[in-house]
Chain A
Amino acid sequence: MITAGIDIGSSALKLVILESTGKVLARYVGRAGYGSGARAREFCKSVGVNIDATVATGYGRGQIDWADKSVTELTCQVRWARQERPAARTIIDIGGQDCKVMRISESGTLADFLLNDKCAAGTGRFLEVMAAALEVPVEELGSVPNGPSAGISSTCTVFAESEVMSAVASGLNKEEVIRGINDAVASRVATLALRLGCIPEVVITGGVAQNARIVSAISRILGTRPIVPKEPQLTAAWGAALLAHDKFC
């Protein structure tokens, strides 16, 4: 049996094709937007296997009209963890537009969750806006060396951008500002995690988990070392493919 999990987030389209042995046959990460559904379909075809069941997830899941089921990213993330990180009790998912913290029960189900409020601070979009303001590729924000950090407010993406501009104008060096940006995201995310009660083992997923500076700042605040999976962007799609197995195969 072969299943597909498709996760259309606010900024990326992620796809995992899974064998019943648990082996990932194919994976895809690309930009989300108009035509995500069509691209997902093309990719599934290009793999050249017969897909028995599909589960869609993410804000754009409605675009996958051929999916057998729609499930929220939260349940998909937890399903992935049950398979791949059974000791995990907390997942922090930092996506393009929101940040989610999930608590996993002993039996591996979604026990509780918290999402960021109506604000994009502490998300991937925040980093994209700041990277653009500093004229730095977003991927490079995580590779800045240790050093002093500029104090950037973590309350609002729009206002934080003007703070960054004023830091630049006042002659602070770019690396200091970048460290300030990373710290702002980390403090926002860690506060949310602590509000839910952050039980180890903690896993960080989502695109922002690729930023090593943010992960280590979160780790400092939480007082525990989170695990970052090898492909942190793919976990929800992977969980969706697992759920497709559970439900339909």
Chain B
Amino acid sequence: MSRLTSANHLKKVMSRYYTGLRIPSPGKRIAWVTSGAPIEILRAMNIQVAYPENYAALCAARRQSQRLMEIAESSGLSEDLCSYARCHIGSVLSPQAAPWKGLPRPDVLICCNNICSTVTLWYEYLAEILEVPLFFLDTPRVDGSPAPHQVAYVKRQLEDLVCFLEARFRRRLDEQTLAATLKTSVKTARLWAEIRNTAKKRPSPIEAPDLFIAMAPIVVLRGTRAALDYYRLLHEELLLRIENGVGVGRDERVRLVWDNIAIWHALFRVNQMFATHGGVFVADTYTGGWTFELKEGDPLESMAHAYLSVFLNKGFADRLADLEKSLSEYSAEGLVMHANRSCKPYSLIQPELARQISKRMGLPVLLLECDMADPRAYAEEQLRLRIEAFMEQVGGIL
């Protein structure tokens, strides 16, 4: 796979972010947040955000997640619990065993259940062991577009969140700063959408593993200049690749779409098994979760709308429609679904999605059983056989 030169910049951006989190400064406040939390409010109040989920993914990518999960399991947590939760809780219980000694201690926890319901218990447990206040934001399940009463319900909670933070940290939310942060967030999200769109070209200038790596700033630095600048650089690089007809550095024989979170501990290893047979993942359903728009009007109301509409907060029909759209827009010839043992809301409906996709679109679908951060759920020979048979099915024998 040919390396993107902007990857060097990404490395700097991310290491600056993680180092910055640790540098003490007067009045510095840190919130631990879930990946679907409305961080623009926090950012506008100069509260630093740290992401346990992103941290767990990083530990897995560095192959340091297993030890942390074992610590969590030894403390009594079930092996069936989400591997992000186990990995992160392991780092809290035993910072000495964790990369960078874990995340810096939070002043507050902000949990939004628009991505899953496990986070509720995970954050309650954190609040208990760390003795830190927890703000819980409840987003009811949406079908199609959020209903007005759902938007009103979430907006009221966002107002509560602002009151909670203002009282807790004795600082005011400045409306202009919030508007500016939201503007940067939307600009970044649009650019991220453009970046993902470049893969519609043949050959695609980028593939899913690149996107999985490149997505970190849109999650953890959304609403900042640093994220926006990095994505401008990446976008320019991809446009240049397209102009020169440059793909991902090898033959693009079979265009594929990936569903679910990456297998972080074997990201490139698994990709290589497809690549050997000419497979290129031109899109995935996960990194698309951070391409959102904000409606004009009241900022909290627009945020309520956007944070309710996160794809994992939506029902079967929406998930199926999104998948069909991706598969046709990216001219995909096959769909690979990572049946992710950890992520139940993502994975439980996959067998039915698979059946519908192959029935409605006539496309081959492969289900791969594995886990995003637990290497013990990875059986290489079994994966290889499935992948090779699938590639023979899609692309024939070369």
Interface of A toward B, CB cutoff 8 Å: 59, 69, 71-75, 98, 109-113, 115, 117-118, 243, 247
Q: Are B393 and A115 in contact (CB under 8 A)?
A: no
The 5 closest A-B pairs by CB, nearest first: A74-B389, A72-B389, A75-B392, A110-B393, A72-B388
Q: Are A59 and B364 in contact (CB under 8 A)?
A: no
Tell me the minimal C-beta distance from B11 to chain A in angstroms.
35
Q: Are B382 and A115 in contact (CB under 8 A)?
A: yes
Q: Are A72 and B364 in contact (CB under 8 A)?
A: no
A69 contact set on B, CB distance < 8 A:
397
Q: Are A118 and B382 in contact (CB under 8 A)?
A: yes
For this complex, 18 residue pairs linking A to B, each with C-beta atoms less than 8 Å apart, are A59-B381, A59-B385, A69-B397, A71-B392, A72-B385, A72-B388, A73-B385, A74-B389, A74-B393, A98-B382, A98-B385, A109-B396, A110-B389, A110-B392, A110-B393, A113-B389, A113-B393, A115-B382
User: What is the CA–CA distance of A75 and B385 in the complex, to the nearest angstrom?
Assistant: 11
Q: Does B358 contact A (CB under 8 A)?
A: yes
Q: Are A115 and B397 in contact (CB under 8 A)?
A: no
Minimal Cβ-Cβ distance residue in B for A58: B385
B369 contact set on A, CB distance < 8 A:
117-118
Most buried by B among A110, A111, A117, A243: A110
Minimal Cβ-Cβ distance residue in B for A115: B386
A113 contact set on B, CB distance < 8 A:
389, 393
B389 contact set on A, CB distance < 8 A:
72, 74-75, 110, 113
User: What is the CA–CA distance of A117 and B381 in the complex, to the nearest angstrom?
Assistant: 12
Q: Are A75 and B382 in contact (CB under 8 A)?
A: no
User: What is the CA–CA distance of A72 and B395 in the complex, to the nearest angstrom?
Assistant: 13
Q: Does B23 contact A (CB under 8 A)?
A: no
Per the CB 8 Å criterion, the residue count for chain B at the interface is: 14
User: What is the CA–CA distance of A211 and B123 in the complex, to the nearest angstrom?
Assistant: 54
Q: Are B364 and A112 in contact (CB under 8 A)?
A: yes
Tell me the minimal C-beta distance from A100 to chain B in angstroms.
8
A-B pairs under 8 A by CB, number? 39
Interface of B toward A, CB cutoff 8 Å: 358, 364, 369, 379, 381-382, 385-386, 388-389, 392-393, 396-397
Most buried by A among B358, B369, B388: B388
User: What is the CA–CA distance of A113 and B397 in the complex, to the nearest angstrom?
Assistant: 16
A112 contact set on B, CB distance < 8 A:
358, 364, 393
A243 contact set on B, CB distance < 8 A:
397
User: What is the CA–CA distance of A17 and B369 in the complex, to the nearest angstrom?
Assistant: 36
Q: Are A71 and B382 in contact (CB under 8 A)?
A: no
Looking at the complex, which one of A109, A115, A117 makes contact with B385 (CB distance below 8 Å)?
Answer: A115
A117 contact set on B, CB distance < 8 A:
369
B388 contact set on A, CB distance < 8 A:
72
A111 contact set on B, CB distance < 8 A:
393
Minimal Cβ-Cβ distance residue in B for A243: B397
Minimal Cβ-Cβ distance residue in A for B387: A72
Tell me the minimal C-beta distance from B392 to chain A in angstroms.
5
Tell me the minimal C-beta distance from B23 to chain A in angstroms.
45
A98 contact set on B, CB distance < 8 A:
382, 385
Q: Are A118 and B379 in contact (CB under 8 A)?
A: yes
Minimal Cβ-Cβ distance residue in B for A105: B393
Tell me the minimal C-beta distance from A60 to chain B in angstroms.
10
User: What is the CA–CA distance of A118 and B379 in the complex, to the nearest angstrom?
Assistant: 8
Minimal Cβ-Cβ distance residue in B for A111: B393
User: What is the CA–CA distance of A74 and B364 in the complex, to the nearest angstrom?
Assistant: 15
Q: Are B385 and A71 in contact (CB under 8 A)?
A: no
Minimal Cβ-Cβ distance residue in A for B381: A59
Tell me the minimal C-beta distance from A5 to chain B in angstroms.
13
User: What is the CA–CA distance of A75 and B389 in the complex, to the nearest angstrom?
Assistant: 7
A118 contact set on B, CB distance < 8 A:
369, 379, 382
Tell me the minimal C-beta distance from A203 to chain B in angstroms.
17
Tell me the minimal C-beta distance from B324 to chain A in angstroms.
19
User: What is the CA–CA distance of A123 and B84 in the complex, to the nearest angstrom?
Assistant: 34
Tell me the minimal C-beta distance from A178 to chain B in angstroms.
29
A59 contact set on B, CB distance < 8 A:
381, 385
Tell me the minimal C-beta distance from A37 to chain B in angstroms.
17
New contact pairs (20) apart from A112-B393, A115-B382, A117-B369, CB-CB < 8 Å = A59-B381, A59-B385, A69-B397, A71-B397, A72-B392, A73-B385, A74-B389, A74-B393, A75-B389, A75-B393, A75-B397, A109-B396, A110-B393, A111-B393, A112-B364, A115-B385, A115-B386, A118-B382, A243-B397, A247-B397
Most buried by B among A69, A75, A111, A247: A75
Minimal Cβ-Cβ distance residue in A for B358: A112
User: What is the CA–CA distance of A71 and B389 in the complex, to the nearest angstrom?
Assistant: 8
User: What is the CA–CA distance of A220 and B369 in the complex, to the nearest angstrom?
Assistant: 30
Most buried by A among B358, B382, B385, B393: B393
User: What is the CA–CA distance of A72 and B382 in the complex, to the nearest angstrom?
Assistant: 12
User: What is the CA–CA distance of A112 and B358 in the complex, to the nearest angstrom?
Assistant: 10
Tell me the minimal C-beta distance from B335 to chain A in angstroms.
12
Tell me the minimal C-beta distance from A63 to chain B in angstroms.
13
Most buried by B among A72, A109, A118: A72
Minimal Cβ-Cβ distance residue in A for B396: A109
A71 contact set on B, CB distance < 8 A:
392, 397
User: What is the CA–CA distance of A115 and B381 in the complex, to the nearest angstrom?
Assistant: 13
A72 contact set on B, CB distance < 8 A:
385, 388-389, 392
Tell me the minimal C-beta distance from A43 to chain B in angstroms.
25
A75 contact set on B, CB distance < 8 A:
389, 392-393, 397
Most buried by A among B369, B381, B392: B392
Most buried by A among B385, B388, B389: B389
Q: Are A74 and B397 in contact (CB under 8 A)?
A: no
Tell me the minimal C-beta distance from B165 to chain A in angstroms.
46
User: What is the CA–CA distance of A69 and B392 in the complex, to the nearest angstrom?
Assistant: 13
A110 contact set on B, CB distance < 8 A:
389, 392-393
A247 contact set on B, CB distance < 8 A:
397
B385 contact set on A, CB distance < 8 A:
59, 72-73, 98, 115
